[in-house]
Structure 1
Amino acid sequence: MEDTVKTQSRPAGRPRDEEATPALLDVTRRLVGEKGFEDVTIASIAAAAGVGRQTIYRRWSSKAELVLDAFLDSASHQEVVADGPVAQVLERFLVNLFDNIRRDGPAIRNLIASAQTDDSFLQIFRERFVLPRAQVAVAIIQRGIARGELSSGIDLEMMVDALHGVFWYRLLQGRPLDETVAARLSLFLTGAKN
């Protein structure tokens, strides 16, 4: 009779420290806030977090991806509230978006620049940052159309592009993104009734 020995396979190397991820995100946010995107390196993040660079590279393939994750991790998430006029719902969405962006605007500008020069990061940035926000805006606008608050003939894609165009333009120009801008933009966009 043959004896069979069952062995459990485990990944090579040390076990992955799951607590390292939130710590790395916190350190990244802090360093980018203190020094700016350009002056932060993977090595400086690793040193501040007390880990090796490989710990970071096992999780993220670039500094831009790490900073994006750190930003997304800190961004507050807002459920789309169905109650209220579309202008108010859109304004609440914009205030939340602008609050998150205002806090991390310089890092976001650098992420946009990275997306322009790195096709693989561009895809990640679109999927994880741009698309989810566009989907929320589309849902709000569609709700306004369904309620008769917005014309059924409006160009949904152009309306979402206009919303994001104002946001990106003001961000890149260093112009205010505040509650006043959110209210004005919401009123402008929802004035497209008939």
Structure 2
Amino acid sequence: MGEGASGRPVNAEAGKALKAAALQLVRANGYDNVSIAAIAKAAGVARQTLYNRWATKADLILEAVFEETHNYAAEPDFDTDKDCRTLLETFLVNVFNHLEIDGDTLRALIAAAQHDSGFQASFHAGFVKPRERMITALLVRAQDTGELPSSRNPETISTLIHGAFWYRLLNRGALNPAFAREIVSNIFD
């Protein structure tokens, strides 16, 4: 079992309770209207228990959202007979479904990252980069299977995909299956 900052064993149940309480409160009240004290109280733990695991509210919410993202859009399964076009479309639809629930929270985390360079680095490394790697790996596979021409740069295409949906997220544009199909069509057609 791991140890917290104080050297005491980390209680995994307390961590789960804190993440669940944080997501529930932020979804119900908005990121800016939720305090560390409210999260700790809702989870039934002391504030210090929270601070033993996360430096800031943003760090806690980021981890909770990241874990929740895996429930919707885990890494595409390459051990399938589905083509890469289908895998990418399914992945994007799942991401967009998650954003229906946590879009406001994610927008708040993006705003927090603009004011805190340490959190910005955590946000990029812990949330943005893993998603970029997943899509880039899928596009590399598409090249390997001949679905995508070898002359196309998977990293650039991944950046364009992310740019499209981050732009829509930040501007509260439609993120739906039709948009996922449109993105995929522009890559594979």
Give the TM-score normalised by structure 1.
0.87
Match of 2:64 in 1: 70
For the 8 Å contact 2:30–2:105, the answer to whether it is kept is: yes
- Displacement of 1:116 in angstroms is 1.6
- Please identify the structure whose Cα radius of gyration is greater: 1
- Displacement of 1:13 in angstroms is 7.8
For each residue in 1:36-88, what CA deviation from the matched residue of structure 2 results, as whole angstroms up to 9, or x when unmatched? Answer: 00000101111222222111111000111111111122221434233322221
Identity, % of aligned pairs? Answer: 39
For each residue in 1:76-104, what CA deviation from the matched residue of structure 2 results, as whole angstroms up to 9, or x when unmatched? Answer: 14342333222211101111111122210
Point out where structure 2 has 5 or more consecutive residues left out of the alignment: none
Letter in 2 for 1:78: A
Match of 2:111 in 1: 113
- Displacement of 1:186 in angstroms is 0.8
Structure 2 Cα separation of the partners of residues 149 and 33 of structure 1? 39
Task: Pick the structure with more helix per residue.
Answer: 2
Q: What is the Cα-based RMSD across aligned positions, in Å?
A: 1.7
Letter in 1 for 2:101: R
Give the TM-score normalised by structure 2.
0.89
Match of 2:91 in 1: 93
Match of 1:3 in 2: none
2:157 to 146, 150, 159: 159
Moved more, 78-87 or 114-123: 78-87
Structure 1 Cα separation of the partners of residues 142 and 10 of structure 2? 47
Structure 2 Cα separation of the partners of residues 17 and 140 of structure 1? 36
Aligned length: 181
Match of 1:50 in 2: 44
Structure 2 Cα separation of the partners of residues 165 and 17 of structure 1? 38
Match of 1:189 in 2: 187
Structure 1 Cα separation of the partners of residues 84 and 120 of structure 2? 31
1:137 to 132, 135, 138: 135
Aligned positions of 1:14-53 closer than 5 A: 16-53=10-47
Letter in 2 for 1:70: A
